[in-house]
Homo-oligomer: A and B are copies of this chain.
Amino acid sequence: MKRATTAAFAPRGTLNETRWNEILTIAAEVFFQKGYEAATVREIAKRAGLLNQGSLYYYIKSKEDLLLALIERAYTQAVATLEEDDAVAASDGPTRLAAFIVRWIDKMVLSNNPLAVLEREFRSLEPSQLDAVRPLRDACNAFVRAVIEQGIAEGSFDGSLDPSVALHNIFFLLNNTHRWYRPAGRLSYDAMIDWYQTFILRGLSAPGRPAD
C-alpha cells in the first residue's frame, strides 16, 4: 500500500494544537513505559480517549512519526533550558554548571519528557530522520562543553579531562534520573539535585582543588 498519499489532509494537529500536545504527551508516557517497539498505537489511542486506533491516524502519519515529533518537542524544550539569567551567565564554570543541572532536571526530567528514553529509541529511526533535531542536540552539547571549558580555563576543573566524554556522561546521568529517583521516595527533590551537583562538580574538579 502506498505511503505517499497518506494523510493528504490533516496537517497533524496544526488545527488543534492543544489536542495535538495532549496526544504527544500521552505517547511520551506510553513510549516511556513500554519502549517504542513494545508500545502500541492502540494503547496510545485508547489513553487519548479514542475508541479506535484508526482515529489516531487523524493526527499522526505513522507511529514512527509520532516518535519523531516527540523527540523534536523534547529537544525544543531542551534548548529552552540553556537560557541563563544575567547573574548566572556572569559566574564561573562550576556555578554555571550547578545552575544548569537544576534547570535541566526541572524542565527535562520532571516533565514528561524523558530524553534518555527517546535517545534509546534512536535506533528505531533512520539517521536522516534526525536531521531536524541534530542542531538542537548540538546546541545542548555545545553549551555544556563551553561551561566545562570555562571551568578548566579558570582552573576549577581538571585540565586533563576530555570535555566530550564529560558532557556525555553528565547528560547520561541526568537524563536517567527517572530510573532511580521517585518523587514520593526516601530522597527529597532537593537532595536529588544536591547529589548531582556534588557528584558531578567534584567529579570534574581539578586535582588538589576541591570543588567546595
Q: B42 near A162 (CB under 8 angstroms)?
A: no
* Known A53-B9, A173-B173, A210-B209: A162·B123 in contact at CB below 8 Å: no
A212: Cβ under 8 A from any B Cβ: yes
Q: How often does this chain occur in the complex, in copies?
A: 4
Contact residues, A143-200 vs B (CB, 8 A)? 158, 161-162, 165-166, 168-169, 172-173, 176, 179-180, 187, 191-192, 195, 198-200
A76, B165: Cα distance in complex, Å: 30
Chain A residues proximal to chain B, CB less than 8 Å: 5, 8-9, 33-35, 37-38, 40, 42-43, 46, 51-53, 120, 123-124, 158, 161-162, 165-166, 168-169, 172-173, 176, 179-180, 187, 191-192, 195, 198-200, 202-205, 207-210, 212
Could you jot down 6 A-B contacts, CB within 8 Å? A5-B40, A8-B43, A165-B195, A169-B173, A202-B202, A203-B203
